[in-house]
Amino acid sequence: MGVLGSAKAALVFPGQGSQAVGMGKDLAESFAAAAEVFERADRTLGFAISKLCFYGPESELTKTVNTQPALFVTSVAVYEVLRAQGVLASPKGGGGHCGYAFTAGHSVGEYAALYAAGAFSFETGLGLVRKRAELMHEAAQKNPGTMAAVLGLSPEQVRQAVEQAAEAGVVVAANFNSPIQTVISGDRAGVARASEIAQQMGAKRVIPLNVSGAFHSPLMQSAADELARALAAAEISDPVVPVAANYTADLETTAQEIRENLAKQLTGSVRWVESVRRLLDSGADAFIELGSGSVLAGLIKRIAPDAAVWSVGDRASVEALIGA
């Protein structure tokens, strides 16, 4: 079944690493719905996140405190364009060719997924994302760390590698991205030792990531504690469609689950492989990636080679989806 013919589509939203200077620019120039999202974001944040997305510089865009809100805003802009064009139905009812049944996001992408699921307003979501980014930056300053992508080993092999490296320092399996790509995270000594062990176990490559901290590891605990307080105070509703949560790899349907899982996500693993399989088991028959780049589409194809997958992030891909 094609993407637009699906009644059981899952909308998916990318996380850090997908950002690129120029993201959202031609959307905002071509579609009023996107321009409005960027204008609202600028007003809400009190600075021109739109200009940072459109023109950079890359050195500023790649800072965690900027990357996360930039990705959220860009993903929401794509979503609102597709709604305005009548391609997507609203989760609360309304016209559209595609009545999506699920949403999911990778790490910070989970906030755009929750927005699309009707769990909170744009302003609430953006405020939470900005707070999350600031807290993660502060935690990384207090507890420096790093991350590395391990290619060519199974998730279980990577788990074994980090267990064997535990004596060297803090290190955990942070992102289960595909059956043969797992990201590890922790302090520099722990990640270095786990990388050595992974290579000895036969990993094809171990790639250090250009990140400012040990995200999705115990080194983020202080950020998780503070974020939990912000989430408790935020106006969050039960989602209108189920959201596959990173922390549990299960479908969450209540505001309480959302609050708990978003806080735990900062120190827990992004269980992307399990989340995609959970969506497939629940009946998802197509995946539409909304936002910058096509990282998730590539990962989903590795997890489920036969899945119908579409990436939408600029004017050309919007028009291609409409023309489909």
Query: Which sequence positions are flagged as catalytic?
Result: 107, 216
Name the token pair of 193: 């030792």
Alpha carbon separation from 22 to 25, 29, 270, 318 (Å, rounded): 6, 12, 27, 16
Residue whose C-alpha is closest to residue 310's, from 280, 282, 289, 296: 289
Tell me how many degrees the CA angle 206-196-202 measures, rounded to the nearest 5: 65
User: What does each C-alpha distance from 53 to 46, 49, 77 come to in angstroms?
Assistant: 15, 6, 12
Q: Please provide the DSSP assignment of 131-143 as one string.
A: HHHHHHHHHHHHS
End-to-end CA distance of the chain: 12
Contact by Cβ (8 Å): 308, 287: yes
Helix orientation angle between 64-84 and 32-45, rounded to the nearest 10 degrees: 150
Q: Are 203 and 153 in contact (CB under 8 A)?
A: yes
Written as one letter, the residue type at 153 is L
* DSSP 3-state of 79: helix
CA-based radius of gyration for the chain: 19
Indicate the DSSP class of residue 167.
Answer: T
